[in-house]
Structure formats: structure tokens, C-alpha cells
Structure 1
Amino acid sequence: HMVVDIGGGTADIAVISLSGVVESASIKIAGDQLNEAVVKYMRRKHNLLVGERTAEEMKKQIGCVFPKEEEETMDVKGRCLLTGLPKVVTVSSTEMMDAFEEPVERIMEAIHSVLERTPPELVADISTNGIVMTGGGSLVSGFDKLVTARTGIHAVIADEAISCVALGTGKSLADLNSLQDGTMNISRRRQMN
């Protein structure tokens, strides 16, 4: 299975087989960097200074990384950089795609890189089983569709995407004795043999 966890501070990508991690990557680009990208975009495109909280709201309400069937808009309040006075700007979901372009591209490159390093037999299994996406960042509209379009492998967002990492960790700690072999990385096991 392949799991893509896009949290607040990092995006973690892993291929898991036989209870161990076969290939993985972790990059410091995730939800927080998407917010920063929105702040920079609003400053550059609209000369509008918005806060972190406003950027988060924009990401949740109209943010998308894959074209929506119906474009959405949102009125955004901030401080005009030219006059220093409050200003309201209407932002579309298409503009949010532009704002997210750089960080999303880096996440897609990391996913592609992990797939390239994965043994061919396991890539075949992944193409059958699909890619599971977790974390709050994966809830940005269209992320699963983008991963599917770019990799050709069906991607789904996990149930309870925000809390499933914590729930899985709790379950594995409850069964720690039966998971002794599975907690060792397969590549480390190969090095020891």
C-alpha cells in the first residue's frame, strides 16, 4: 500500500509492504506552507495583506488543487498595501489553484520520487490497491483527483483523515508485542542480513 500523509508541517509518503516501510520520503511542505503560499499570492496579486487565519479559511472554503466543476468565490478582507486601509477582494477557486501551485508541485514530485524508487512488483500492487491520503492537507478540494491524474493510480482520502494517523498509532501501541517484526524498517532488516 502507498500512504500519503499531508499534515500541517510535513508531507510524509510511504510504501508499506509486509508490515514494514519499503520506501518513504518526508518533506517540510504541507498545510502551513499552503497557507503561506496564499498570503504571498494575495500580497503579490491583489496588494492585500491577509493573516494566517484568513489564509486558512480561504484554503478550507474555496481552496482547490484540481479544477472544480463549478467555480467558487469568497470575499476576503485585508489591509491594502498601497493605502494602508481595509479592503475587500473577491477571490476565486481558480486563483487558489495558482496560489497553491509551487507547494503542491513539490508534494507531487515527492510522491513521484517514492514511486520511482519502489520495486516494480510493489508498484503493480499499489496500482491495484490505490493510494490512501491522510492528514488535513489532503482535504484540500481535488487533491485525490490531482494525485490520480498525475500518477495514473486511483487515490482515495481516508475516513477521518485528520485523526487517522493518531488512531493508527494508538492501535499499534495497543498491539506492540505482536508488531515487533513489523516495527523494523525492511531496508534496515536487509542491511542486517
Structure 2
Amino acid sequence: MFKSMDIGIDLGTANILVYVKGKGVVLKEPSVVAIDKVRNKVLAVGDDAREMLGRAPGSIVAIRPLKEGVIANYTVTQKLLAYVIEKVAGKSLFFKPRVMTCVPIGITSVEKRAVMEATTQGGASKTYLIEEPLAAALGAGIDISVPRGNMVVDIGGGTTDIAVLSLGGIVVDSSIRIGGDHFDEAIVRHVKKVHNVLIGERTAEEIKMNVATVIADGRNESITVRGRDMVTGLPTTFSVSSEDCRVALEDAVASLIATVRGVLEKCPPELAADIVDNGIYLTGGGALLDGLAEIMQRETGITTHIADDPLECVALGTGKALENLDKLHPGTVYTASNLAD
């Protein structure tokens, strides 16, 4: 008898990752869709669409349908999900996959419903949700089933989810609309203010990945990039240093750490003691920002670890959650209490 394929999707603001049960992470592409506005037709998805960001003519628009972790454009999100599900599972009228999708903590029931409906329209037979910090903890190899406190800080493209977990559930949590995209925007603003040059988000991301640091004693490098001089209006080449980035990212990092401290302050004393022993775990692409773990450790006084594979952590955790899919009712959120029912 044919058994339906089980798929886990990390539906991120910046990237979409797909985990197939028994195979691992099989797809990782940018969450970008290129659309021909004249014919209302999808031209490209993922890497091909990302190449068009900021470079397409007026009739073609490259859209990132998710903003700050939630659906900003329902129709385009549905097309994105349909593309990745078909690419991974093939096209079939009868054998549609069961899909578990990650969502940020703190999103509304309306936003959750939008994700489930978009996943169903995209080609899923049954849909399930899992909150990102829970998936990140599973992907980082943390045993969350025991009565011990563990803290996860998942820094995605649009949001950072912070949660204290124990006994398979989230005890204290908070979400802040700061992530990789916010870091890019901060670099764009700083370059515009200091160098009088306008750069695009792809250039800002390149600067962030290659030279950015958030601590004074971090890496000390520079990169040569191109942009448009705001005085002459002409293309220009200039250099951006690690110190430029540190100054640019100062406020965003301070807000992030303040939110982490806020969660620690709300944490029950016994769980707080466990976190001191176990440390804080950073996951998501933002965890790779140079010096972030060090500055968080300095500001909180708690050992801070970067997960082994921060970029794929949430997708890997969703894959582990797929093992319990038969214990869940379709349309529900993966939690210890739902599994027990």
C-alpha cells in the first residue's frame, strides 16, 4: 500500500528549507518569487528569482511574500509553497504529502490559518504547524522532554524568537521583529548616512556576511562594494569596514539582547538556574553574525552556544517532529500536550 510522503517546511522570510522524512533537508532556496505583472504569470522561484531582485524591468517584479515571519502576500506564498512541494514530492492528484510548517511564536490565529490554507492550496493533503523555537531546539539536539529549562534564541530573516522550553513545551517566550533583514537595512542606512552612497539589499547582505561584526574586538576587515553616489547620481566604488558594520548594527543588537534579558527576568527561578547550567543556544542564520554569541554572553553572564548547523536547525527539528505526525490531529500545532491527547 502506498504511504504518503511526510514533509517539513521551514517557511522563512529569507529562505525556505524542505525536509523529507527519511531523506533529510532536500531543498534550500531563497523565499523569492518573480512574477510577470502583464501576464500575471510566475517566471521564477528561489535562486533564479533572487537574481532578479533590483535588476528586473518594470513588467517583472521579484517579491518576497513573507515579511517579518508572516505571510504578507497570500497568493504569492501559495505559489511558492506549490513550487517547493511539487519539486520535492512531484505532482499527483491522489498521493499528496502531509506537511508540517514552521511558524514564529506570537502570530495570530488568523495568520496561522493563512499558513495552513496556503500549504493546503500548495498541494498538501494534511497540514500541521510547529513553532520555530521548538523546532530549533529539536534541531539543535536539545532534549526538551525532560523537566529542565533550555533557552533557544532563533534569529531568522524577519524575526527573532526567544523561548525557554521544558517538558516538551514553551514556558516563557518573546518575539521581536529584528532579524537578518533588519541587519541588512541597518547597513544600508549607515552607508547612506556616512558614505552618501545608496546600496541594495543584496550588497548589504554581502557586507554582513563577509566583514560585519558586533563587537569592538571582533574581526577587522573591509570589503570593496559598488553603489550609487547620492551627490553625483553616478555609480561609485568604495570600501566598508567591520567597524562601520559594528556601529550600524549597534541599536539592533542592543534591542535583541534587551529582549533576551526580558525573557530571563520572566523565567521561573528553577528554570533560570537550569539555563545558567545549560547555556543559551543560538540558531538561525543570524547566529552566524560575528561576535553575537560573545556579546550575548557578556551582557547576560550566561554561556552562549551556536548550534552545530544554525541555518538548517529549524528544518532538521521539523524533520524530527515528523516522527510523531500520526499522534497529531491535522490542523493542530505540535506541542507535548497535543501529542499526549
Tell me the TM-score normalised to structure 2 length: 0.52
CA-based RMSD of the aligned residues comes to 1.5
Q: Distance in 2 between matches of 1:182 and 1:64?
A: 38
Residue 173 of structure 1: how far off its partner (Å): 2.2
Among 205, 213, 216, the residue aligned to 1:67: 216
Q: What letter corresponds to residue 135 of structure 1 in structure 2?
A: G
The percent identity for this pair of structures is: 47
Structure 1 residue 182 corresponds to structure 2 residue 182: no
Aligned to 2:68: none
Structure 1 residue 169 corresponds to structure 2 residue 318: yes
Aligned to 1:189: none
Residue 92 of structure 1: how far off its partner (Å): 1.1
Matches within 5 A, 1:140-155: 140-155=289-304
Q: Which runs of 5+ in 1 are unaligned?
A: 185-193
Distance 1:54 1:181, change over 3 A: closer
Among 91, 114, 125, the residue aligned to 2:240: 91
Aligned to 2:284: 135
Structure 1 residue 32 corresponds to structure 2 residue 32: no
Q: Distance in 2 between matches of 1:81 and 1:181?
A: 51
Aligned to 2:127: none
**Secondary structure at the counterpart of residue 248 of structure 2:** helix
Q: What letter corresponds to residue 324 of structure 2 in structure 1?
A: D
Aligned to 1:120: 269
Whether the 8 Å contact between 2:283 and 2:311 is mirrored in structure 1 is yes
Q: Distance in 2 between matches of 1:48 and 1:69?
A: 25
**Secondary structure at the counterpart of residue 308 of structure 2:** coil
Q: Distance in 2 between matches of 1:66 and 1:23?
A: 28
Structure 1 residue 111 corresponds to structure 2 residue 260: yes
Aligned to 1:159: 308
**Secondary structure at the counterpart of residue 173 of structure 2:** strand
Q: What letter corresponds to residue 241 of structure 2 in structure 1?
A: S
Q: What letter corresponds to residue 3 of structure 1 in structure 2?
A: V
Residue 69 of structure 1: how far off its partner (Å): 4.8
Residue 102 of structure 1: how far off its partner (Å): 1.6
Distance 1:183 1:3, change over 3 A: farther
Q: What letter corresponds to residue 255 of structure 2 in structure 1?
A: R
Whether the 8 Å contact between 2:218 and 2:290 is mirrored in structure 1 is no
Q: Distance in 2 between matches of 1:79 and 1:21?
A: 46
Q: Which runs of 5+ in 2 are unaligned?
A: 1-149, 329-333
Residue 82 of structure 1: how far off its partner (Å): 0.6
Compare 157-166 and 83-92 and name the one that shifted more. Answer: 83-92
Q: Distance in 1 between matches of 2:196 and 2:218?
A: 28
Deviations 1:131-162 (A, max 9, x none): 00000011111111011011000101101101
Aligned to 1:51: 200
Greater per-residue helix proportion: 1
Whether the 8 Å contact between 2:219 and 2:290 is mirrored in structure 1 is no
Q: Distance in 2 between matches of 1:89 and 1:102?
A: 24
Residue 125 of structure 1: how far off its partner (Å): 0.6
**Secondary structure at the counterpart of residue 273 of structure 2:** helix
**Secondary structure at the counterpart of residue 192 of structure 2:** helix
**Secondary structure at the counterpart of residue 281 of structure 2:** strand
Q: Distance in 2 between matches of 1:46 and 1:99?
A: 12
Q: What letter corresponds to residue 300 of structure 2 in structure 1?
A: T
Aligned to 1:17: 166
Tell me the TM-score normalised to structure 1 length: 0.90
Deviations 1:31-64 (A, max 9, x none): 0000000000000111010000000000000011
Residue 175 of structure 1: how far off its partner (Å): 2.2
**Secondary structure at the counterpart of residue 148 of structure 1:** helix
**Bigger Cα Rg:** 2
